[in-house]
């Protein structure tokens, strides 16, 4: 016997289909380029510069990004850098891999014009700021996993690039409400869409075959204590996210004071008030270069 679905069943069905659609959209993202990993492997075995250059040149967009980013102030403003081979020879190897990762990631933060493009640009700007904050923090803490922290910070909000479309349809008005009430955005995403941007980011990074600690840090950057694999990396990404957000607000003249002594993850990582102030100063100086990243990649 066929019966009509009641209101609760229709809602549940709608919710299930919506979640399937979100996941399907995320799974349509093209694979993450493997140029950075190939270059890192060649650097490890001290391969000739020509060989490394050939790998970078295999993706013209990444090659162009390497040239522009390599000349930026944050990476030493090296005016002698006129070719990809120069970049391979002149840039410190860790920096070269970071630049390739940034040039590889930028394509996922492009919108298709209008409001979506503006939102994606904002997320990209924030992602690069977080990656730079992570790099500065890792350097100051002499963290041996600096590249992992950089990668996870660069991709920590990748889930937003997919969720933004659905958020616009389903929850934009409620996002404003939540912001007024200081309610966590991820809770609102979970309630309205059945998945939040950190969970979706985790799914995307796993499909892209990033190492488990990157996947786990992306999936828990708002709750690093829950990271199953290497909670230290997740805590570093959390700190980078907080500092990037504060630097952006300061830039927009909404003065923000960070309180590292009250953040358990800053305390656990050993990021003191003095160190926070130093990182923020360096990060804010790098923000102009971040704009260069945006137009160049």
CB 159 → Fe ion: shortest distance, Å? 8
DSSP state of 183: -
CB 124 within 8 A of CB 107: no
Interface mask (CB under 5 A) for Fe ion, residues 1-40, using x and -?
A: ----------------------------------------
Per CB under 5 A, which of residues 214..243 are in contact with Fe ion? 241
Q: Is the CB of residue 199 less than 8 Å from the CB of residue 191?
A: no
**Stretch 73-102 residues interacting with Fe ion (CB under 5 A):** none
Shortest Å, Cβ 75 to Fe ion: 23
CA distance to 111, 164, 166, per residue, from 116 (Å): 5, 8, 11
Between 35 and 152, whose beta carbon lies closer to Fe ion? 152
b (16+ CB within 10 A) / e for 18-39: beeebbeebeeeeebbebbbbb
202 binds Fe ion (CB under 5 A): no
Scan residues 122-181 and list those touching Fe ion (CB under 5 A): 157
Q: Which residue, 71 or 220, is less far from Fe ion as judged by CB?
A: 220
Q: Which is nearer to Fe ion, 53 or 157 (CB)?
A: 157
Give CA–CA dist 28/46, Å, rounded.
36
Nearer to Fe ion, 157 or 230 (CB): 157
Query: Which residue lies nearer to Fe ion by CB, 131 or 269?
Result: 131
**To the nearest whole angstrom, how small is the minimum distance from the Cβ of residue 1 to Fe ion?**
47
Task: Decide whether 199 or 213 has the Cβ nearer to Fe ion.
Answer: 199
Cβ neighbours for 217, distance < 8 A, ≥ 6 positions apart: 149, 152, 156, 224, 227, 230, 233, 234, 236, 237
Cβ 216 to Fe ion shortest distance, Å: 14
For the CB of residue 238, give the shortest distance to Fe ion in the complex, in Å: 9
The 3-state secondary structure of 4-54 reads CCCHHHHHHHHHHHHHHHHHHHHHCCCCCCCHHHHHHHHHHCCCCHHHHHH
Please state the closest distance from residue 109 (CB atom) to Fe ion, in A.
Answer: 12
Where on the chain is the footprint of Fe ion (CB under 5 A)? Answer: 157, 241
């Amino acid at each position: 016997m066929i019966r009509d679905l009641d209101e609760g069943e229709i809602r549940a069905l709608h919710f299930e289909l919506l979640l399937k659609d979100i996941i399907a959209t995320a799974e349509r993202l093209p694979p993450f380029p493997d140029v950075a990993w190939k270059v890192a492997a060649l650097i490890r075995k001290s391969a000739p510069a020509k060989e490394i250059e050939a790998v970078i040149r295999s993706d013209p967009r990444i090659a162009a990004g390497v040239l522009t980013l390599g000349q930026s102030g944050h990476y030493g403003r090296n005016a002698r850098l006129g070719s990809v081979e120069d970049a391979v020879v002149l840039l410190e190897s860790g920096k070269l891999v970071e630049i390739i990762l940034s040039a590889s990631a930028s394509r996922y933060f492009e919108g298709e014009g209008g409001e979506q493009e503006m939102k994606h640009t904002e997320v990209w700007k924030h992602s690069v700021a977080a990656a730079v904050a992570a790099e500065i923090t890792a350097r100051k803490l002499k963290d041996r996993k600096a590249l992992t922290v950089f990668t996870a910070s660069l991709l920590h909000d990748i889930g937003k690039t997919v969720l933004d479309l659905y958020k616009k349809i389903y929850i934009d008005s409620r996002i404003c409400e939540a912001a007024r009430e200081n309610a966590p955005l991820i809770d609102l995403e979970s309630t309205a869409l059945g998945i939040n941007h950190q969970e979706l980011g985790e799914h995307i990074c796993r499909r892209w075959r990033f190492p488990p600690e990157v996947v786990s840090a992306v999936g828990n950057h708002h709750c690093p204590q829950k990271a199953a694999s290497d909670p230290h990396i997740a805590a570093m990404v959390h700190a980078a996210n907080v500092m990037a957000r504060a630097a952006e607000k300061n830039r927009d003249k909404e003065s923000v004071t960070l309180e590292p002594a009250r953040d358990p993850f800053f305390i656990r990582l050993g990021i003191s008030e003095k160190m926070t102030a130093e990182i923020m100063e360096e990060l804010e100086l790098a923000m102009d270069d971040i704009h260069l990243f945006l137009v160049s990649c």
